[in-house]
Amino acid sequence: MGSGCSAAKEVSDIILVNDDFGATVTAIKWGRNIYHNVGRFLQFQITVNISVLLTIAICSPILAESPISAV
């Protein structure tokens, strides 16, 4: 933005080059969307990893080998 101080511009992640309110709203929407997508991805990864660990921990003693292999 044209009225920001130079110290704030140096430490910021995003610099809006105009004073358009619509551009600010769009930038906030994109930021929230990325934040939510990262949260969903992490939730998915944690869920999958926990289920794989439980499957290995439960089935390994029963089958006497790992139930998950590369083949």
Cβ atoms of 52 and 69 within 8 Å: the answer is no
* CA–CA distances in Å: residue 25 to residues 20, 29, 35: 9, 6, 15
pLDDT surpassing 60 at residue 4: no
pTM: 0.59
Q: How many helices (H) and strands (E) does the chain have?
A: 2, 0
pLDDT surpassing 70 at residue 55: yes
The two tokens of residue 41 are 């991805």
Cβ atoms of 27 and 16 within 8 Å: the answer is yes
Q: Give the pLDDT confidence score for residue 61 in this predicted structure.
A: 83
The two tokens of residue 12 are 């910021």
